[in-house]
């Protein structure tokens, strides 16, 4: 009888397991973040040309993080550019809980988003870097590149402050068996284990989604003078310093 009733209520979604951090050296952690930065970018022709380099770096990492990264690379080989590009757009451009913009999870489409973006710009500047890209400064690949290249405590603080967003993204990608789930899983494994407070925040975001408030929304983007180190999205080093 219950099968004939409309679905007026649905169970709350369960959280993915809390992952124990992988044992990584500082250099390995940098490599994970740089690889994840590049792999989370749109898989254009240049992305596919770099596949052998991505695969070599992933294979050199401990299996705990190298294998999750390799899941996407295997999918890329099997599906080809056109199919992977379509999957990317469907995943990251059309699903609210798969946003690659970290401040979106905390502020959503509200007036607070503009202030949050300025905070990211201030973080880059505080570490002596300049953000120089077409994307917004809270773009996860850019933040991961910042972590890999700057070796700054500021980058660690930014990732820590937005850990709930990373966990919501992981939950969403794992829930849909996305080929990018392993990439975010590897990032999670490179970070400290989440505490109960963050788990509760993630649970709320998984079940309720980011805040919404589109009226009067503005995203101020101040321009800073160059400071010697530029921060373009997904360029720079994997581990030692040479762009793949």
From residue 116, alpha-carbon distances to 84, 137, 191 in Å are 31, 10, 22
Which architecture does CATH list for 23-231?
A: Orthogonal Bundle (1.10)
Per-residue confidence (pLDDT) for residue 119, from 0 to 100? 85
Task: Kindly list the domain boundaries of the chain, sorted by start residue.
Answer: 23-231
Please give the chain's pLDDT, 244 residues, in tens.
445 555 554 444 555 667 788 899 999 999 999 999 999 999 999 999 999 999 999 999 999 999 999 999 999 999 999 999 999 999 998 677 789 999 888 776 667 778 888 888 988 998 889 888 888 999 999 999 999 998 788 888 888 888 888 988 998 999 999 999 999 999 999 998 755 554 454 444 444 444 555 444 343 333 323 333 444 433 334 444 444 4
In this structure, how many other beta carbons lie within 10 angstroms of the beta carbon of residue 4? Answer: 5
d(CA 172, CA 134): 26
Report the pLDDT value the prediction gives residue 107, as an integer from 0 to 100: 73
pTM of the model: 0.77
Cα 168 off chain centre by: 10
Q: Which pLDDT score, from 0 to 100, does residue 77 have? A: 97
pLDDT at residue number 218: 40
190 — phi, psi (to 5°)? -90, -5
pLDDT at residue 110, as a whole number: 62
Give dist(CA 98, CA 166) in Å, integer. Answer: 10
SS3 track for the chain: CHHHCCCCCCCCCCCCCCCCCCCCCHHHHHHHHHHHHHHCCCCCHHHHHCHHHHHHHHHHCCHHHHHHHHHHHHHHHHHCHHHHHHHHHHHHHCCHHHCCEHHHHHHCECCHHHHHHHHHHHHHHHCCCEECCCCCCCEHHHHHHHHHHHCCHHHHHHHHHCHHHHHHHHHHHHHCCCCCHHHHHHHHHCCCCCCHHHHHHHHHHHHHCCCECCCCCCCCCCCCCCCCCEECCCCCCCCCCCCC
């Amino acid at each position: 009888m219950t099968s004939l009733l409309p679905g007026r209520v649905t169970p709350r979604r369960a959280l993915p397991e809390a992952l124990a951090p992988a044992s990584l050296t500082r250099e390995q952690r940098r490599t994970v973040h740089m690889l994840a930065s590049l792999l989370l970018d749109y898989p254009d022709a240049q992305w596919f040309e770099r596949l052998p380099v991505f695969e070599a770096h992933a294979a050199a990492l401990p299996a705990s993080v190298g294998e999750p990264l390799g899941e996407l690379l295997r999918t890329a080989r099997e599906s080809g550019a056109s199919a992977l590009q379509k999957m990317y757009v469907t995943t990251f451009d059309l699903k609210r809980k798969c946003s690659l913009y970290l401040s979106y999870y905390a502020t959503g489409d509200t007036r607070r988003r503009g202030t949050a973006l300025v905070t990211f710009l201030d973080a880059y500047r505080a570490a002596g870097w300049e953000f120089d890209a077409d994307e917004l400064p809270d773009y996860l690949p850019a933040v991961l590149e910042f972590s890999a290249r700057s070796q700054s405590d500021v980058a660690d603080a930014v990732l820590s402050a937005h850990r709930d967003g990373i966990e919501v993204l992981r939950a969403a990608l794992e829930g849909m068996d996305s080929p990018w789930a392993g990439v975010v899983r590897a990032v999670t494994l490179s970070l400290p284990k989440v505490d109960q407070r963050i788990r509760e925040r993630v649970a709320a975001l998984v079940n309720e989604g980011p805040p919404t408030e589109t009226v009067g929304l503005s995203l101020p983007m101040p321009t800073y003078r160059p400071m010697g180190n530029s921060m373009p999205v997904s360029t720079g080093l994997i581990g030692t310093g040479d762009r793949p």
